[in-house]
Amino acid sequence: MKEKNIKEPVCAVDYAFRRIGGKYKGRILWHIYNNEVLRFGELKRRITDITTKMLTQTLRELENDNLLFRKVYPEVPPKVEYRLTDVSNSLIPFINQLREWGITQMKKENIPIREHEASKK
């Protein structure tokens, strides 16, 4: 992450959101957590509103921030798998709390919840 070399102090919340904030990072981490290992195409199918370019960029940022482990297999076509690191595994309880909050709010507002969302780990 480019902002890691900031010389002036930053708020801890700011630091955390710089690493996992945005539209896709938490979702990517959650999908990988629920599947243990995912390949690029599998992530693309699960996060339908992300472009290929944005997925590539976000995966690189997560890898640079030590939140994803990327394993490349030497074969043709290339096979690349993504796993959570110990650092990102420590974030999962917080992401799950956000998911639970979202489910509660969606129920209050009568917004339909996909079945697989309500029954996650």
* Model confidence band, residue 103 (pLDDT cutoffs 50, 70, 90): very high
Please give the average per-residue pLDDT across 2-17, as a whole number: 70
Residue tagged 């979702």 (tokens): 27
CA proximity to 62, closest of 49, 43, 75: 43
71-92 pLDDT per residue, tens: 999 998 889 999 999 999 999 9
Q: Would the pLDDT of 102 be above 50?
A: yes
d(CA 95, CA 117): 13
Could you report the per-residue pLDDT of 31-79, keeping only the tens digit for each?
999 999 999 999 999 999 999 999 999 999 999 999 999 999 999 888 9
Token pair belonging to 17: 């959101």
Q: What pLDDT does residue 7 have? A: 60
CA distances from 108 to 60, 69, 102, 117 (A): 37, 37, 10, 16
The per-type count for the chain, helices as H runs and strands as E runs, is 7, 3
Total Cβ atoms within 10 A of residue 89: 13
Specify whether the backbone of 45 is left (phi greater than 0), alpha (psi in -120 to 50) or beta. Answer: alpha
